[in-house]
Amino acid sequence: MAARTMQAARCPTDELSLTNCAVVSEKDLQSGQHVTVKTTPNHKFVFTVKTHHTVSPGSIAFSLPQRKWAGLSIGQEVEVANYNFDKSKQCIGAMTIEIDFLQKKSTDSSPYDSDKMAAEFIQQFNNQAFSVTQQLVFSFCDKLFGLMVKDIEAMDASILRGETASGKKQKIDIGLMVGNSQVIFEKAESSSLTLVGKAKTKEARQTIINPEWNFEKMGIGGLDKEFSSIFRRAFASRVFPPDIVEQMGCKHVKGIMLFGPPGCGKTLMARQIGKMLNAREPKVVNGPEILNKYVGESEANIRKLFADAEEEQKRLGANSGLHIIIFDELDAICKQRGTGASSTGVHDTVVNQLLSKIDGVEQLNNILVIGMTNRPDLIDDALMRPGRFEVKMEISLPDEKGRVQILTIHTNKMRSFNLLAPDVDIKELAAETKNYSGAELEGLVRAAQSTAMNRHIKATSTVEVDMERAEKLQVTRSDFMGSLNNDIKPAFGTNQEDYSNYIMNGIIKWGDPVTHVLDDGELLIQQTKNSDRTPLVAVLLEGPPHCGKTALAAKIAEDSQFPFIKICSPDKMIGYSEIAKCQAIKKVFDDACKSQLSCVVVDDIERLLDYVPIGPRFSNLVLQALLVLLKRAPPKGRKLLIIGTTSRKDVLQEMEMLDAFSTTIHIPNISTGEQLVDALELLGNFTDKERANIAHQLKGKRVWIGIKKLLVLIEMSLQMDQEYRVTKFLSLLRDEGADRSFYE
């Protein structure tokens, strides 16, 4: 509006005096407008106005503190004009206010919480204009206080643009109070008022996230990148003044889904998240706690979680504070709808209730829901769309740098009390603990502590601690290495017993074919490690039964030194149904994708497929699963080597499975007498004289026997008396080769 002349009047009610607004008729102005009141040619004052029916048109009513501040008298004519704030420069970042009891008679010595006072002040006077030297009355805990604005700092423009705070402090004379302004109270010099809380001292303005937060202090290691990414994404829009966010039509991120293997720090983050946020204490809920056997109670429990946020949004609108709700084990309550075995569909209604609360018709904009699960595949799809759990972050196994952080956290206390021996090298331990999760690393430290303590216990008829030696207790490198080898094994790691059983007799290099296979295996390992173009390498070792395919596959896997090695073998799936077998195979491949470098040995493929030549019969379900999994590339940044073994290449050819492998390596049987004698020499079971006798008998002859079967025949012959051993061995060898001419 253009400037107009109005008459100053007395504020009609005491209640309106406490609003800090100039009161006008609704015919002149609208509530919430800002105006300049010009009292003399050189004096202008900015007020926020409020309408009231008792004020006559053409009048503008002021409270006593306002009249004192502006030097106004009743009936004085003033010039009133609209005032528009520049939101980029005039939002209040921090405001210092001098406070005292309004009436000296009503003083008391009880302490007043300045933090609650500041929160109440922002609620009462949100979106109002304030000027330096302005006086006003403030009601708090049924007491009236006289306030005077001492100092105003503008909100840092770089924060409004979503950048890091520049640190520049810009003083202003007039500013607009917004929901995340900081209010600092200072008591007047002669006042007897007692203030407690943080808002009584001037601190650097804080955003919702503390950018210099140290995750190691929180006891969370190896997740710095993930955490900074989560908080940048979830809180960037919450740093802006609420009215600017509203003008942009921007909606805050309401949900974050954290998923990943067990023991990687998802729940630990939930325990600590309140410490890194300048928000209300988060509500931490375990998924199963929501469920209740009574009909409707589970849904009511969900509603209760959101009740505070709903009430505050109705009261304060865009200026409501942030409410954080953390769901641990989210898959317990948010399974895919329609999959429950029970006919009541209780799970479905709980999911429906949660969906409507996070982003339903009456949507809340002041909540952040953080869900955690290690089974993201079970979660209902509707929860994962933008507007609900839109930020999805994998909390995966820690890398070497992360493992150093985690081990440092768990050994810090020991180090400070000089209980960690100087020979313990955290970097060495981190290099040795590939594929260990955070929880397993903590378990490793505990196991090493137990080993060290055990050295100081006297093994007498009673258990006693040797106190003299206990005072010199130190956890050494050997304690850690012992625990590493014997106690704590990674769930997503290499189980040495798995493949060591297959190569317990070692690899017998009876000829060039074996050497060539191992050389090719080394090339494939290097290709998997170094090539970015082929993150998935699949090789098939095929050959007749008992030729040592599985032992060679296990040897190649062992030589790779990959942090994840698993053997997918039919002997672990005896009696499994087709579906159970598919799920077991899929789990091996899924687990392999969680590690940076993985090797999976798929042993005896025709047995996995339940193939028999009579019929012929095989499991099509398992075949299709294997065809898909063998071709499925690992996620970006991960590498996978697959080694398959089979005795029936022809069958796999018919099933179109050979195409799923990058390359096929043939492993032959021992086929000449010379190769067989070389094998006997390497095994060293017969004496030199016996070997010479066998060599003479086999000279120039063709044989056909697998190394595995050869070992059985040798061991059988060795049970005879010495003079009959060679004869028995040659007889067994002749019987073994009866179906193929033993002598040419």
Report pLDDT digits (tens) over 619-674.
999 999 999 999 999 988 889 999 999 999 999 999 999 999 999 999 998 888 88
Q: What does the pLDDT look like over 464-484, one tens digit per residue?
A: 666 666 667 888 888 888 888
* Percent over 90 (pLDDT), the chain: 14
Residues 522 and 636 in one domain: yes
Region 412-422 average pLDDT: 86
Does 274 share its domain with 305?
Answer: yes
d(CA 610, CA 619): 6
- Asked about 594 being catalytic, the answer comes back as no
* The one catalytic residue among 87, 586, 708, 728: 708
Q: Which of 603, 639, 646, 709 is catalytic?
A: 603
Per the structure, the complete domain to which residue 566 belongs is given by 496-666
Residues 35 and 112 in one domain: no
Is the confidence at residue 254, as pLDDT, over 70?
Answer: yes
Q: In terms of domains, do 161 and 180 share one?
A: yes
Residue-wise pLDDT tens digits, 479-501 = 888 888 777 777 776 666 566 67
With 70 as the cut, is the pLDDT of residue 218 above it?
no
DSSP secondary structure code for residue 575 in this structure: T
List, for residues 670-681, the tens digit of each pLDDT value.
888 888 888 888
- Judge whether 743 lies within some domain: no
Any catalytic annotation for residue 151?
no
Q: Is 550 a catalytic residue?
A: yes
Q: What is the mean pLDDT of the chain?
A: 82
Cβ proximity of 35 and 82 under 8 Å: yes
603 counts as catalytic:
yes
In three-state form (DSSP H/G/I as H, E/B as E, the rest C), the secondary structure along 37-101 is EEEECCEEEEEEEEECCCCCCCEEEECHHHHHHHCCCCCCEEEEEECCCCHHHHEEEEEEEEEEE
Taking 80 as the threshold, does the pLDDT of residue 506 lie above it?
no
Whether 658 and 684 map to the same domain: the answer is: no
Q: How many CB atoms lie within 10 A of CB 701?
A: 16
Last residue of a domain, one of 20, 48, 82: 82
- Is 617 contained in some domain? yes
In a domain, residue 207? The reply is no
Closest by CA position to 128, among listed 152, 146, 159: 152
Q: What is the CATH number of the domain that holds 29?
A: 2.40.40.20
- pLDDT reported for residue 453: 84
For 84-98, write each residue's pLDDT tens digit: 888 777 888 888 988
Residue 412 CB contacts under 8 Å (≥ 6 apart), including other chains: none
Residue 725, pLDDT score: 86
Q: Are residues 656 and 674 in the same domain?
A: no
User: What is the Cα 328 distance to its own chain's centre?
Assistant: 12
Sequence-ordered alpha helix ranges (H) in 215-279: 215-218, 224-235, 242-248, 266-276
Domain assignment of residue 232, yes or no = yes
Q: Is residue 233 part of a domain?
A: yes
From the candidates 373, 411, 528, 550, which is the catalytic residue? 550
CA neighbours within 13 Å on the CB side: how many for 294? 3
Catalytic residue among 48, 604, 646, 709: 604
Same domain, 62 and 97: no
Determine which one of 357, 549, 566, 709 is catalytic: 549
Give the pLDDT confidence of 373-390 residue by residue, as tens digits.
Answer: 888 888 888 888 887 888
Domain assignment of residue 135, yes or no = yes
Angstrom distance (rounded) from CA 254 to CA 240: 16
Domain final residue pick, 666, 689, 715: 666
Where do the H-state alpha helices sit in 384-542?
400-416, 426-432, 438-454, 467-470, 477-486, 496-500, 512-530
Out of 666, 695, 724, a domain closes at 666
Is a pLDDT exceeding 90 seen at residue 542? Answer: yes
Exactly one of 631, 650, 687, 699 is catalytic; which is it?
631
Q: Compute the average pLDDT of residues 432-443.
A: 85
Number of separate domains in the chain: 6
Task: Check: pTM over 0.75? Answer yes or no.
Answer: no
Instruction: Write down the pLDDT at residue 589.
Output: 92
Say if residues 121 and 136 touch (Cβ distance below 8 Å).
Answer: no
Residues 318 and 256 in one domain: yes
Residues 529 and 627 in one domain: yes
Is 413 part of the annotated catalytic residue set?
Answer: no
Instruction: Provide the CATH number for the domain around residue 189.
Output: 3.10.330.10
Give the model's pLDDT for residue 667. 92
Whether residue 345 sits in one domain with residue 457: no
Q: Is residue 202 part of a domain?
A: no
Q: How far is CA 702 from CA 398, 682, 698, 737, 738, in A?
A: 55, 20, 8, 10, 12
Let me know if 549 is a catalytic residue. Answer: yes
* Domain annotation covers residue 469: yes
Q: Inform me whether the pLDDT recorded for 215 exceeds 80.
A: no
Number of H helices, E strands in the chain: 28, 28
Distance CA 709, CA 705 (A): 7
Domain with residue 580: its CATH number is: 3.40.50.300
Do 647 and 504 lie in one domain? The reply is yes
Q: For 344-371, what is each residue's pLDDT tens digit?
A: 455 678 888 888 888 776 777 788 888 8
My answer on whether 381 and 422 are in the same domain is: no
Q: Give the CATH number, domain containing residue 722.
A: 1.10.8.60
